Each structure stands twice: as C-alpha cells, then as structure tokens.
Amino acid sequence: MARIQKSPNLIQTVAHLEFPGGPIPLDSAFYIDRSPAEARACAEISKPGSLIRIKAPRKMGKSSLMLRIIKAAVDRGYRTVTVDFQQADEAVFANVDKFLRWLCVNVARQLKLEPNLNEFWDEDMGSKVSCSLYFENYLLEQIDSPLFLVLNEVNRVFERANIAQEFLPLLRFWYEQARQSETWEKLRIAVIHSTEIYIALSLNQSPFNVGLPIKLSEFSAEQVQELARRHGLNWNDSYPVEQLMQMVGGHPYLVHLALYHLAILQQNRLSVGENESGEELGRAELEQLLKAAPTQSGIYSDYLRNQSIAIQQKPELAWAFQQVLDVKNSLHLEPLMAYQLDSMGLVKLEGNNCSLSCELYRLYFQEQNLCEDGFSAVGFEELQQENERLLALVNVDELTQIGNRRHFDSCLRAQWKHNARDESPISLILCDIDYFKIYNDTYGHQAGDSCLRSVAQAIRRSLQRPADVAARYGGEEFAIVLPQTDATGALVIAEQIRAKVKALSIIFDPENVDCLPNSVVTISLGIASVVPGPENDAATLVLAADEALYDSKRHGRDRITMSTLLNFRFAAVN
C-alpha cells in the first residue's frame, strides 16, 4: 500500500470542519489521497485516446476523485466536459436517436459551440454513425487541445437495455478509433458507474474490458487514523480506529461523518474549559456515538432511513436484502438484485456471492420490517411477478413490447449454435421504417412512439412459429430471426411484414417535404440466409442482412432485397 501522505492542517475550531456529503473540495484538508488509483488515473489521461473506468458504490468518493482527475486534465491544458446521466430527463431515454442527440448537444454547449446538429445527422446513416461523425468532424475539429469527457452515473444507462446495447459499443468504437486516427486521439474518456454492468455485450463490443479499470476500495485502518488526526482527534493507539471500523468498515462517508461529529464534541468540550483526560473522554464519546449509531437518534439516522425507503420501494429488493441479513456469512443472490444492493453500498460482492457490508446495517435493518407480515403467501407471488417484470425489463423493449437488442443477440447466438448442429438454415430480416426521422420531426415524438408500437405489432403478427423472434434492433430498426428457414421462406414473411405495415395506413404526408414516394408509413427490408458452418458466423449474417437493407433504402424504399452473398435456398423438388 502507498504511504499515506500526512496533511499539516489540523482543525483548530468547529468553523474549520466540513460536513461530509458532496464532493470534497480540491483545497480540503479532509481529502484522503486514493493512491495508487488516483495517480494511475491522472497519468492515464495523458495518453492519446485513453479510457478510464471508475466503479464504486454510492458515497465511496467517486466524485471527489473525479474532481482531482479533472484538475489534472485542466492543468495539462485539456478541455473538459462532464455529462451526468442523472440530470437527463426520462424522455431522453426514449430511443437511441434522442439519447445520442442529447449527448451531442450537451457536449457542444459545454464546449461553448453552436450545436449545428442537423448538419451532421443523417437518417440513412443512422444515429450512431451520425454521432461519431459529429464528434470527429465537428467537436474534435473545433478544439486544438485534447478533450477529457467524463460520463458520470453510467449505471443509469445500464437500466435501459435498448440504449446501453447501442451506446456502450459506441464508446468502445471511439476508443479503438484513437489507435488509427489523430483526431480521435484527442478524446480521453472517463466512465463512472456504481454497479457492475449487467447488459449482455460481446467481448469486442464492450468498453468494460479495455482501458484502465479503477475500483475504489474502502479506507484502510491507516487512512482512518490519518483522517482522525486531520479532525484534531487524539487517537494515539489503534483501539478507536478498530472500534469505528468494526461498526462501519472503511466506508469513506460513514467514517467521515463519525469523525466530524466526534470533532465537534471535542471542540465543544474544550470550549467550556474541560481539562480532563481528552483521550479517555474521546473514547467515551466514541462508544456513545457507536451505541446510538443504528438507532433513530444516531448520526446515521437520515442516511439509514433513506436506504430503508429505497429498499422498501422495491419488494423484490427488500426480500433479497432480508436474505442477506438472515445469514452470518455470504450467499448467492440473483445477479440483478446483488448488483442493485452493491450499488447502494449495502453488500459486498465476493465472486458469485454477496455479504453484508458492515455491522451498522445488520443492527439497523434487523429492527426494520423490510418484508410485511404474510409476505410468504401473497408476497411471494408478488415477488415472482416482480422477477418476471425484471426479466422483461432485461429482454423486452419497453416501448414496443417486443424483444430488445439484448434478447435478439441472445436468441441469435443460441439459434446459430442449434442450427449449426442440425446443419439447417437460419434467416435474418432487418427492416427500417422509411423516413422515420422526418415523420418524428413532423408529427412529434408521441406520434413517433405510436408509429413504432404499431409497426412492431404488425411484425409480430406476421410471424407464424413460436421459434421465430422479432426484436427492436435500435431506433426505428427491427430484426427478425427465422430458424430453419431458407431464403424463399424468409421472402414470404418479409413480404407479409411489408404489406401489413403499409396496410396500417399511418398517414405520412408532410407539407414541407416534397417527393416522398408514399403518403403512408412504409418499411424497407433486407434478408440474409445461410446454413451455419465453420466458414461463417452470426456477425456475417447480420452484416449481410444490413447491406441488403441498405440496398432497399438506396433503390427507393418500401421494398425487399435479398443478400447477394448469403441467400441459401433448399433445392427444388421435382
């Protein structure tokens, strides 16, 4: 462990104390250097195209650390932009296009640039390509120095699978572009999140297996001792530190709050002229503080109450946490539950198991009625329903109520393996609502959402077999996986989809746009079909279908195009 740097600043009066809560100011005597992580992060951002990933539960010091890293960037002459996803309205997460446009405008405004977004946004190229071109050809070109982009509370993106499965691979793409582009070398990214990522991404798409990972740990006993010294507390042996850490562990916020109150008690005692043994009185005050800590009159009452409210708002989370409280050691929880409890700082993850973070939580929550009486009957049924809802959140697109991108990726992988064993064909249809951006801009987002829902249900009604899978691929794009279906069969289904969408007769006749080929909403489709084998893979199938879709759009839309590369057909039987 790196040696703790001792601060010469000791607290002289109560006025010099800082109540813990938000990020610790840069000039504060109460900031404990998080080296070696801090030093490594500050060094990493000097590398062209670098990416750092900071993970820690809430109130562990992520924001305070980030202030220091941002200062290091400013000292190097970098431009800095912080995007906090907690500030984003719920409407921002409606679809990938809206999300990426919000991101771009946010960055442009902080760089004091006019957004000029429409000059770079192209419906035919899609939101992700448009966003990348906007960064490369506008934002990064307009500045002469590197840009340090801080993405805070990325865990909020994790909660929206349809956004996460598009945005996170985009970050990985930007990182890889810096290896071959001087323009992209200017971009240095920090990704800050409170929990493990639980969105399914392939290894070559995820930004969470590249760059510098930083996992903030709790304070060590030496760090707690040093922070106590900076508060003017006379802890000459390890006993007070051991007592405090036995209750709250090394959690930075909980430790800091205790030391703050102990320092006030000491100052109050000195102000009335008490000259008794400071060390003995200090120990007595610590014992009283720790005795009251898990109660409603203790210093942690507001913090614990907020944690309790947050847990009880989600019955399935309360039930999971109750299981942790009921065991002495660790136990296995369903990953989504474990990650949520970890992000709140209530548990520690140990491989596939989790355990209680500190004794304070056990003493407080064992007196709470987290699960209502009678939960075992009605409550368990509600828990099952809630688990089904959570599973739907992971696999179902919230807007259209068909599969989301995660579900599509999972089904395609599984079906590819199955068809490879059977040596049977698999077909993929990719389809895109024609001129959807114009439709959205003309009629508004509510009409756009309604259009997406109607098209999704038309696609679903076109599928005949339980094994066929329809999913929202991203934005206005949909994907259909057809196992044991050759190109001929896929063409039949694609034509049914095209016809059903057109038959919806969704009016699309904007006055300010000329030369649209139809007065109703239509859809373009691309098909690829192949027998899985060692010479191809699922990614090739997706690419072939995407190229076919592009051909449909290029040649007039409202049409179907079969891939020229992957178009397997069963031999005709005479």
pLDDT at 454 over 90: yes
Q: Which amino acid is at 358?
A: C
85, 152 contact by CB (below 8 A): yes
pLDDT at 277 over 60: no
Tell me how far apart the alpha carbons of residues 347 and 345 are, in angstroms, rounded to a whole number: 6
Active site members: 476
Rounded mean pLDDT, 116-135: 91
CATH of domain 301-394: 1.10.10
Question: Among the listed ranges 9-13, 222-226, 356-360, 467-471, which one has the minimum average pLDDT value?
Answer: 9-13
Q: Which fold has domain 397-567?
A: Alpha-Beta Plaits (3.30.70)
Question: Among the listed ranges 50-59, 262-271, 364-373, 402-411, which one has the minimum average pLDDT value?
Answer: 364-373
> Predicted confidence band at 2 (pLDDT cuts at 50, 70, 90)?
very low
> Predicted confidence band at 377 (pLDDT cuts at 50, 70, 90)?
very low
Buried (b) or exposed (e) across 132-148, using 16+ Cβ within 10 A? bebbbebbbeeeeebbb
Pair type for strands 212-215 and 347-350: unpaired
Pick the CATH number of 33-215 from 3.40.640.10, 3.40.50.720, 3.40.50.300, 1.20.120.1760: 3.40.50.300
Q: What is the dihedral of CA 162, 476, 469, 420, to 10 degrees?
A: -90
| Phi, psi torsion values for 32, nearest 5 degrees | -100, 120
Tell me how far apart the alpha carbons of residues 185 and 433 are, in angstroms, rounded to a whole number: 35
Ramachandran region of residue 455, left (φ > 0), alpha (ψ -120 to 50) or beta?
Answer: alpha
Q: Which amino acid is at 143?
A: I
Nearest to 402 by CA among 424, 422, 373, 431: 431
pLDDT at 193 over 50: yes
* Sequence-ordered list of residues with C-beta below 8 angstroms from that of 139, at least 6 positions apart, any chain: 104, 107, 108, 111, 113, 147
Rounded mean pLDDT, 241-267: 94
Rounded mean pLDDT, 64-70: 95
The number of C-alpha atoms within 13 Å of 501 and in the hemisphere containing its C-beta is 28
- Per-residue model confidence (pLDDT) at position 441: 85
Higher pLDDT, 536 or 81: 81
Nearest to 187 by CA among 288, 387, 327, 50: 50
Read off the pTM. 0.65
Concatenate the DSSP letters of all residues of 354-394 into one string: EEES-HHHHHHHTTS--S-TTIIIIIHHHHHHHHHHHHHHH
- The verdict on whether omega for the bond into residue 534 sits within 30 degrees of 0, i.e. cis, is no
* Sequence-ordered list of residues with C-beta below 8 angstroms from that of 155, at least 6 positions apart, any chain: 193, 194, 195, 343
- Per-residue model confidence (pLDDT) at position 382: 58
Q: Indicate the average pLDDT of the chain.
A: 87
Task: Provide the total of helices (H) and of strands (E) in the chain, helices listed first.
Answer: 22, 13
Question: Which structure tokens are listed for 111?
Answer: 């760089």
Rounded mean pLDDT, 430-452: 92
Tell me how far apart the alpha carbons of residues 24 and 64 are, in angstroms, rounded to a whole number: 5
Listed in order, the ranges of the chain carrying CATH 3.30.70.270 are 397-567
Rounded mean pLDDT, 406-429: 91
pLDDT at 203 over 60: no
Question: Among the listed ranges 68-72, 277-281, 339-343, 441-445, which one has the minimum average pLDDT value?
Answer: 277-281
Buried (b) or exposed (e) across 237-253, using 16+ Cβ within 10 A? eeebbeebbebbbbbbb
Rounded mean pLDDT, 324-348: 87
Rounded mean pLDDT, 273-297: 79
> Predicted confidence band at 396 (pLDDT cuts at 50, 70, 90)?
confident
- Per-residue model confidence (pLDDT) at position 373: 46
pLDDT tens digit sequence for 88-114: 999 999 999 999 999 999 999 999 999
Rounded mean pLDDT, 316-334: 88
- Per-residue model confidence (pLDDT) at position 54: 93
Task: Report percent pLDDT > 90 for the chain.
Answer: 56
- Per-residue model confidence (pLDDT) at position 376: 46
Listed in order, the ranges of the chain carrying CATH 3.40.50.300 are 33-215
pLDDT at 248 over 50: yes
Rounded mean pLDDT, 474-489: 94
pLDDT tens digit sequence for 5-41: 555 555 545 557 888 888 999 999 999 998 888 999 9
Return the H-helix or E-strand segment holding 301: helix 301-312
Cα–chain-centroid distance for residue 487? 38
- Per-residue model confidence (pLDDT) at position 336: 78
